[in-house]
Structure formats: structure tokens, C-alpha cells
Amino acid sequence: MSAAFDQPIAVVGAALRLPGARNLGEYWDLLTGARDTVTRRTDAVPDPAASSLGVPPDARFVGAYGGIDDPMAFDPARFGMSAAEALQTDPQQRVLLELVDEALHVASVPAAAHARTGVFAGAGLNSYADSVRTALRGAIGVDDFAVELGTARDYLAGKIAYRLNLRGPVVNVLAACSTGLVAVHLASRALLDDEVDVAVAGVSAIRYPLWTGYWAVPGSIASADGVCRPFDVRATGTVPADGAGAVVLKRLADAVSDGDDVLAVVRGSAVGNDGRKPGFGHVRADAQEDVIRAALRAAGVEPGDVSYVEAHGTGTRLGDAVEWSTLHRVFGANAGSVAVGTSKGSLGHTREAAGMAGLLKAILCLSNGVVPPSANFGALPHDLRLESALLPVTDPIAVERGLGGVSAFGLGARTVTWCWNARLGRRHGRPPGVRSPWCPATASPGWMRRPGCCATPVQHRTIWPPAPRFGHTTTSSGGSWN
């Protein structure tokens, strides 16, 4: 599944947009407060007849969704884009472009390193291309190829590299809910193989038209009451959400030599899949166990060295039961406790970005030496209350051994990334007051500013046409096309 890492990989920069959080600081605040950031509303129930596939008679609309702030806001001039090109670009791609730029600024990657900086990125599937075709029908210069260039996921990584002048390899990653962590895995491998000196791994999952809720069908994976309760006895399913994130990676030796602030260290990772099973949506426990053990071998650590796992934990009864029992087989006999957390109780399920949300949470937990309580968790179901070292997080738990892992499971794909404690972090950092070698002229509101680095606010504006909301019929009118 994965060869051993011959040297550690450092995370030297990060940026995110998640429900309730525009940066790492806000993310940590909502996690430590065990806040549920899902937006819930009871108005604007869509007409079932408006659904192109129809709605089952036993479906019920649940007005709950984990949205991010201002997903349509963007500053085209920041990246030398015209308003026309920005309009034709999927908001998922616009947001990820901003995040990669932010993460590179945080990492202080100099322009001289761009020749060996690679991009490994993925995005979700939405209907933005259909909206562009409708809104710009008949506009001069807008044809199928122009729409494809602006919205197809095939060009995501390449366009980021184009806009930021990054000349290393570009790889588009599509691995369902494990896309973010597969991107980190591939980026780490590129560093280990000396294909790059700097690697960016990023993911963006933003639905368009913007959702306000979903149709829940009994027996489906969707939560019946709009609350995501991973591993909880009351769990009825997951809640959809949007999210995006990016990390900048370097070989640890290079990061230390360059005086970088090391946020975390990736010791090893592994990727696998289920192979044949009763149905493509089924989950194989043995496949999950295999990939976790492969990640441990790649990291050169034993199960007993691990004190924290950031689980996939979707809040579906079957999926959670399989994952918990798998973690029990791997870590249940540990001498010390193993805290099992999950971010989905706070955020909802951010689809392709789920693994990235988990990784960024793990970085924060290891950096601060504590795993905060999991939102919406009360007690395990009776069948999961095993004699085990596994410990669900109802109160803050100290990370004693400083080694944690992150799981992300997509349909048919499995990936696990393991991180070493990041407490070494800032002692390798640049002395206070020394300007970063790559000092941005502008930075988005969520950018983590370094001391001594000049920055002015980005001039965000909502890109026309206004984003329609799921379940509502909207038309575009007014505006101009130049």
C-alpha cells in the first residue's frame, strides 16, 4: 500500500475555509468550544416537483447545511484575472486559489523556489457550469470550451500553478471523501522522490447552487434531524457541508535548514481500497485495518505509540460501527488511552474536504497538546462499549505521547495519514521582526500574518450572477458583460 518514509515531511503552511472558521485560529476556537456550526432553518422548503430526479414519497426536507462564509466573494485583480474569467471560474476553484496563495504566504516560500513547487489538488462536483451556460447564453466569447476551462476539475491544479507561477508537477486528485488526504499522500511522495522541493496539497468542496438543506430518506446516510452525531447512540446519519483547505509541505530537513515554522510533521501515510464487496457503497473492515497498519509501518511506529486518532466518523450507524471496531482491533490493546475525535459533529460532512478538515484539526490538537470534546457526542451505542483503550472525547484529553493519526474513507478508497507531534514548531521559526522572503502585497481576511510582513486587505466582491439557493428557482437579470 505504501513504502516507508525515509525522512519526515514538514507542514509549514496552512489555510482553510470551513463552516464557522476562516483560519486556523477560528477553527481551534470552535473546536475547543465543541460548537456545532451547521446552519439550520425551517423556512424555504423547496418544491419537490422542482427536483430533476423527483423526490421519494417518504422523503422529508431537512433544513440543515454546513456552509462557509461568502463562498462567492473573490478578488480577481489579486490574481490578474478579468471579471469575465472570474465569472466563468467555478467558486470552488476560486476559493482554493486564494487558499493556496495564503498557505504559500504563511510558509514564506520564496519566488526562487517556484520552479520546484508542485500542486496536488482536488475539488467536488457541482452545477456551476450549467449556471454559467444559462446566465451567459449568447455572450460573445463564451462557448463550451471556455466554460469547460473555467469549471472542469481537470484543470484545477494546472490553473493554480499558472496563476501563482508554480512550475513543478501538477496533479488533479479525485478520491471522493478522501480526496484531501490522498492529495497530501501524493504530495509527500513527490517530496520523498525528490520531484519537488515544495508541495502544495489542497481541496475544495462547495456546492453550487448553494444548499440550505437536503431531502432525507429513511435508511439513507442523511441525518433525519439535521444533526451529525459521530459515534453517538443517537446518531441518525450525516449532514452535508462545504469546506476547503490547503497545506504546504517540505522535507523536514529543508524546513529546519530554511528556518521555517513547522506546524506538524507527517511521519507516514498509506492509501488502499476495498476491492470486491457486496456493493460499492459497502464498507470492508479488513480493508480499513489493512490501510491503518500500512500507515503505521510507513511511519515506523507501533500502535502503542499512538495516543490520538482523528476518525472519519460520519454519524452513520453502520459506518461508525465498522470504523470503531477497526480502531479497536488496531489500538484497543494499547497500554495507554487513545482519544478518538471527529470534526464532523462541529462542521458536518465536507465531502472531498473531510480529510483535510481532519488533518488540520489534528495539527491543532498536537500543537496544543490537547484533544477538545467532540461536538454532539454523549455516549457510545451499547455494541461499541468494548473493553478498549479507545476513548471518545467528552472532556479535553491531553495528548501524552504526541503521535496522532487521521483517517478519511471515501467510497471504495481508503487513506490514512499519520502526523508526529508539532511541538517542535516555532523554535525553528524565523527570529521575530525578520521579514518573510516572500512578502505578499495583499492577503485575504483569514490570512495568518507573520510579524514584519506587510499586507493590505483584499478587495473582495461578490462575483455576478448572485448564487441561487438550492430549492429556489432563480433567474439572472441585469449586469453587463464586457
Residues 5-40: pLDDT tens digits? 889 999 999 999 999 999 999 999 999 999 999 999
pLDDT digits (tens, 9 = 90+) for 174-205: 999 999 999 999 999 999 999 999 999 999 99
Residue 357's pLDDT is what?
98
Nearest partner of 440 among 13, 51, 3, 93, judged by Cα: 13
336 versus 446: which is more confidently predicted?
336
* Whether pLDDT at 227 is above 80: yes
402 versus 261: which is more confidently predicted?
261
Q: What is the mean pLDDT of residues 431-459?
A: 34
- Residue tagged 513543478 (cell numbers): 168
* Whether pLDDT at 479 is above 50: no
Q: Is the dihedral of CA 100, 356, 187, 169 positive or negative?
A: negative
Instruction: List Cα–Cα distances, 457 to 75, 354, 443, in angstroms.
Output: 10, 29, 6
On whether the CB atoms of residues 344 and 313 are closer than 8 A, the answer is yes
- Window from 144-158, 189-203, 234-248 with minimum mean pLDDT: 144-158
Q: What is the mean pLDDT of residues 204-219?
A: 92
Confidence at 346, pLDDT banded by 50, 70, 90? very high
- Residue tagged 462545504 (cell numbers): 242
Reported as half-sphere exposure (CB side, CA atoms, 13 A), residue 458 has a value of 20
Residue 448's pLDDT is what?
35
Residue 391's pLDDT is what?
94
Partnered with residue 119 across adjacent β-strands are: 170, 200
Residue 43's pLDDT is what?
82
| Residue 133 to residue 135: CA distance in whole angstroms | 6
Q: What is the mean pLDDT of residues 67-79?
A: 94
Cell of residue 199, nine digits: 508541495
- Window from 113-117, 216-220, 425-429, 463-467 with minimum mean pLDDT: 425-429
The angle, 0 to 180 degrees and rounded to 10, between the axes of the packed helices 156-164 and 91-107 is: 50
Q: What is the Cα gyration radius of the chain?
A: 22
Reported as half-sphere exposure (CB side, CA atoms, 13 A), residue 171 has a value of 23
Residue 421's pLDDT is what?
61
* Whether pLDDT at 1 is above 90: no
Question: H-type helices in 108-195, by residue range?
Answer: 128-135, 144-151, 156-164, 179-192
Q: Which residues of 270-305 are buried (b: 16+ CB within 10 A; e: fewer)?
A: bbbbbeeeeeeeebbeebbbbbbbbbbbbbebebeb
Q: What is the mean pLDDT of residues 316-321?
A: 93
| Residue 396 to residue 399: CA distance in whole angstroms | 10
pLDDT digits (tens, 9 = 90+) for 287-315: 999 999 999 999 999 999 999 999 999 99
Nearest partner of 246 among 178, 188, 312, 200, judged by Cα: 200
pLDDT digits (tens, 9 = 90+) for 411-435: 877 788 887 765 444 444 443 333 3
**Arithmetic mean of pLDDT over the chain:** 86
pLDDT digits (tens, 9 = 90+) for 360-387: 999 999 989 999 999 999 999 999 998 8
Q: What is the mean pLDDT of residues 438-447?
A: 34
